[in-house]
Structure 1
Amino acid sequence: MSHDNRFDPRLFDLIPHRPPMLLINNLLEVNETSSSARVIVDEHAPFFEAGKGVPAWIGLEYMGQTAALIAGHQRQLGKVGPHLGFLLGTRGFKTSHDYFAPGSYNVYCAETALVGDELATFNCSIRTTPQDGGEIDCLATASLSVLRRPVAPKTAI
């Protein structure tokens, strides 16, 4: 499958991740304090295990990349400068499954606190994608702490 068809091109404008480590597939929504993305779990997904899917702990990276969309959007608006984001830790990671089975999932992140320009926290969840009025299940939740480290501009020598 071509990368052009697998990934929403808007992702490349917002976050630095690239295949094979770009794990989210579609941008659903982003604003200055929240974001949502879709993840496709299939045999082409990184970390996919035949007969099982993707291990649930990879959900932390799904959440981290979805949270990074917020910073990318803030950067495009001129609210923050270029920076690197480092996951400092997570609190309360809970999941109801050992694996994300093949299918699609929606990841939601909301910035809940910002200390200065450097430390941000996000409440995140991963939910099943709505199907024809069916029930939406929450499969994982976590609170992420992220350090934003400004990137120094390159100087000519």
Structure 2
Amino acid sequence: MNVPAHMPDIRTLVPHSGQMVMLDRALSADTDMLCAEVRVHPGSVLADETGVGAWVGIEYMAQAIAAHAGWLALQRGGEVKVGFLLGSRKYEAKVSQFALGEVLHVHVHRVLQAENGLGAFECRIDIAGGMAAAATATVTVFQPANVNQFLKDGNVG
């Protein structure tokens, strides 16, 4: 993996703002992969007194995919654009929740990228210093060339 010397702030890579940015930082990236970090703490979105449900992992994966798209766009001198989570196959979690205090590493690897903006990623979440592959999924996403036109009339071109 080609690891950049310095990764940009995660907030510059995703088209989210405020508390909806659920990732803490991007650790590494290359043309097909990105690894992001999440620290589960009491102020985490969707956290209760013990942690966040493992089902939140799908959003961590989706945001890591968005960060990858944003990183690639910035590498080309472009802008970060909105994309859509279409679905996931076989989201499996070995834990029922990610506990307060845990540090998660969210790995996304692009396995398909079509010209029309459709993409598929193999994703996994490791608990740092703990369980590898605590959650896994194949996630399908779509990033239209013109999001406003797509939202207006469904035109993907």
TM-score by length of 2: 0.82
Q: Quick one: distance in 1 between partners of 2:77 and 2:118?
A: 15
TM-superposition CA deviations, 1:95-127 (whole Å, max 9, x none): 011111111111000000111141000000000
Q: Quick one: distance in 1 between partners of 2:59 and 2:132?
A: 19
Aligned mate of 1:139, from 131, 134, 142: 134
CA contact (8 A) 1:20 1:46 kept: yes
- How far residue 81 of structure 1 moved from its aligned partner, in angstroms, is 6.3
How has the CA–CA distance of structure 1 residues 104 and 78 changed in structure 2, closer, same or farther, with 3 Å as cutoff?
A: same
Q: Count residues in correspondence.
A: 141
Q: Quick one: distance in 1 between partners of 2:109 and 2:60?
A: 14
Q: Quick one: distance in 2 between partners of 1:117 and 1:75?
A: 16
Helix, strand or coil at the partner of 1:137? coil
Q: Quick one: distance in 2 between partners of 1:69 and 1:152?
A: 17
Aligned mate of 2:53, from 43, 52, 55: 55
Aligned mate of 2:146, from 111, 134, 151: 151
- How far residue 136 of structure 1 moved from its aligned partner, in angstroms, is 4.2
How has the CA–CA distance of structure 1 residues 61 and 122 changed in structure 2, closer, same or farther, with 3 Å as cutoff?
A: same
Helix, strand or coil at the partner of 1:83? coil
Q: Quick one: distance in 1 between partners of 2:77 and 2:113?
A: 13
Q: Quick one: distance in 1 between partners of 2:92 and 2:107?
A: 15
In structure 1, the partner of 2:155 is none
User: 5+ residue gaps in structure 2?
Assistant: 1-6, 149-157
- How far residue 83 of structure 1 moved from its aligned partner, in angstroms, is 3.4
Q: Quick one: distance in 1 between partners of 2:35 and 2:119?
A: 17
In structure 2, the partner of 1:65 is 63
TM-score by length of 1: 0.82
In structure 2, the partner of 1:3 is none
Q: Quick one: distance in 2 between partners of 1:23 and 1:57?
A: 14
How has the CA–CA distance of structure 1 residues 48 and 120 changed in structure 2, closer, same or farther, with 3 Å as cutoff?
A: same
How has the CA–CA distance of structure 1 residues 82 and 151 changed in structure 2, closer, same or farther, with 3 Å as cutoff?
A: farther
Where is the strand percentage greater, Structure 1 or Structure 2?
Answer: 1
Once the two structures are overlaid, the 10-residue window that deviates more, 82-91 or 72-81, is 72-81
Please tell me whether residue 123 in structure 1 is matched to residue 122 in structure 2.
yes
Helix, strand or coil at the partner of 1:20? helix
